[in-house]
Amino acid sequence: METFDYVIVGGGAAGCVLADRLSASGKHRVLVLEAGGEPTSMWIPIPAGFSKLLTNKKYNWLFKTTPEANTKGRAISVPRGKGLGGSSLINGMIYVRGQPTDYDAWAAAGATGWGYTDVEPYFRRLENYQPGDATRGKSGPFHIEQVHERFPISSAFLKAAVQDGQVFNADYNSSSQEGFGYYQAHQRNGQRCSAYDAYLKPARSRPNLVVQTGAHVLRLELQGQRCTGVTYRREGRDVTVATSIEVIMAAGAIQTPQILELSGIGRPEHLQSLGISVKHALAGVGENYIDHFATRMNWRVKNTVTLNEMARGWRLMREVAKYYTTRKGILTLGTGLVHGFVKTRADLPSPDAQYFMVHASYANAAERILDRAPGMTIGVSQLRPESVGSIHIRSADPFDQPSIEPNFLSNEVDQQCIVNSMKVARRIMSQPAMAAFIEHEMNPGAAVYSDADWLEFARNDGQTIYHPLGTCRMGTDDKAVVDPQLRVKGLTGLRIVDASVMPKMISGNIQGAVIMVAEKGSDLILGKRRAD
């Protein structure tokens, strides 16, 4: 049996960071196990290629939620990246730190050492954002750029937001998140900068780092209260490897609790009901699942050319040529062009809603098929949902997808926030600056006016925006799965370093926070002091 100092389960965003940081000194032998493959698709470096990858089973686990009454019995897609780089290969590349109070709330909930003053140095360590002020990192491995493209309708939308009383904010990742402006994306020179590009690819030449793709982890190996290794299946053969220091789970908020439960770590009654022997009772495994829920409002527009027309025919050929010669144009766009972080009530201390404006509309959003006529969309999302669900295995088969029960819109605060958020979006669109461009509102449409109608639209049409977290949350109470050092409670030799440890949702897209957790987690593992 081969032995490594550290075995990292999962080669996604967190796994890439850990592989780089833990192998950098050359002192430790590190193994990364990734169930997916190498990131070889031609669509990965092209930002607009995310639309091709979100439905590609080679790069996406294609998870779906269990149908629930709150969302009209729909099975909602929960894409998760598959392959080295994980979801950073297929996501919309939007980079958001969140609000300082998000992390202070983590600390208040028992995640000691994870307040904003503790995590802010790690955001600066990971960032390479040249336009930023002194609050932003400029020499980190993760390249970030502001969206470069400008269009008449996006400029008009920003003007309309100001007419509505909102503020313009050039850097929502600096002193204040509130306001409207152009998104920041993890890109470099017009190409996607994935966690694989930033962290793992430069480290792969190190002789002390071994990366195994196509390695589907079956279970963790335990001897008493110590995790001693991992068993995985690769090319039809089961292989067990040992660790001399630690196994580090970095499989994400869906698959980390799945692997723990398959290994006999979790709620005893659930494991026993599936015929799995209980190795270590931990009631919080798979609980506290939180995700961002969003609706998409769209309008038929006029007097402008939108992505609907630019992404087909001769216009598309022109854009392809522009991209390959200049790294500019519509192929550099991800899921958001203009951002908005808004207070939906005047009494709130900080924004509770996020907007994603793009001058495009889908005829079929699930299949990423654009309308043929000009259109624009505003994605509307509550920043910090109170609704909490769970993720648990449904069988002892490690290849069976787990049951994902998000419980969306079960909390009255969430219901009112999503309704208020859509009302504000409609109000902005009614400002004079948009008058020359708007033909009519397509969805939800002018007939939707009462709170009950707005909520019904959200229940029928809302989707996750792919930010699952919290299913192995850190803390000090009985339901916490890991302590603030990210060590699994009651066991030695096992840590979790991924989105599953986040105790509460952050205010915005979570990719940046996942990488921050991995940066800080690597220091905790190596016993280093806080980043400066």
- The three-state secondary structure class of 523 is helix
Q: Any idea which residue has 């192998």 for tokens?
A: 23
Check: CB of residue 506 under 8 Å from CB of residue 98: yes
Rounded CA gap, 338 and 171, in Å? Answer: 12
Q: Any idea which residue has 């500019």 for tokens?
A: 328
Quickly count: other Cβ atoms within 10 Å of residue 101's Cβ. Answer: 16
Instruction: Report cis status (omega within 30 of 0) of the bond before 468.
Output: no
Burial of 393 by CB count in 10 Å (0-12 exposed, 13-18 middle, 19+ buried)? buried
The single-letter code of the amino acid at 394 is R
- Give the closest residue to 507 by CA, choosing from 118, 47, 94, 85: 94
Both structure tokens of 272: 């026993």
- Give the closest residue to 408 by CA, choosing from 417, 395, 399: 417
Rounded CA gap, 430 and 315, in Å? Answer: 30
Q: In the 3-class helix/strand/coil scheme, how is 398-412 assigned residue by residue?
A: CCCCCEEECCCCCCH
Rounded CA gap, 325 and 10, in Å? Answer: 36
Q: In the 3-class helix/strand/coil scheme, how is 120-187 assigned residue by residue?
A: HHHHHHHEECCCCCCCCCECCCEECEECCCCCHHHHHHHHHHHHCCCCECCCCCCCCCCEEEECEECE
The active-site residue out of 143, 292, 392, 467 is 467
- The three-state secondary structure class of 430 is coil
Examine the residue annotation and report whether 270 is marked as an active-site residue of this protein.
no
3-class SS shares of the chain: helix, strand, coil, % to 5: 30, 25, 45
R_g of the chain, CA atoms, integer Å: 22
Residue 225 C-beta-side C-alpha neighbours within 13 Å: 8
Report DSSP state, residue 475: -
Angle among Cα 431, 436, 439 to the nearest 5 degrees reads: 90
Quickly count: other Cβ atoms within 10 Å of residue 380's Cβ. Answer: 29
Q: Any idea which residue has 């009950």 for tokens?
A: 452
268's CB contacts (< 8 A; 6+ apart) are 278, 281
What pairing do the DSSP bridges indicate for beta strands 494-496 and 237-249?
A: parallel
Both structure tokens of 231: 């068993």
Rounded CA gap, 183 and 146, in Å? Answer: 6
- Give the closest residue to 190 by CA, choosing from 335, 3, 329: 329
Residues belonging to the active site? 467
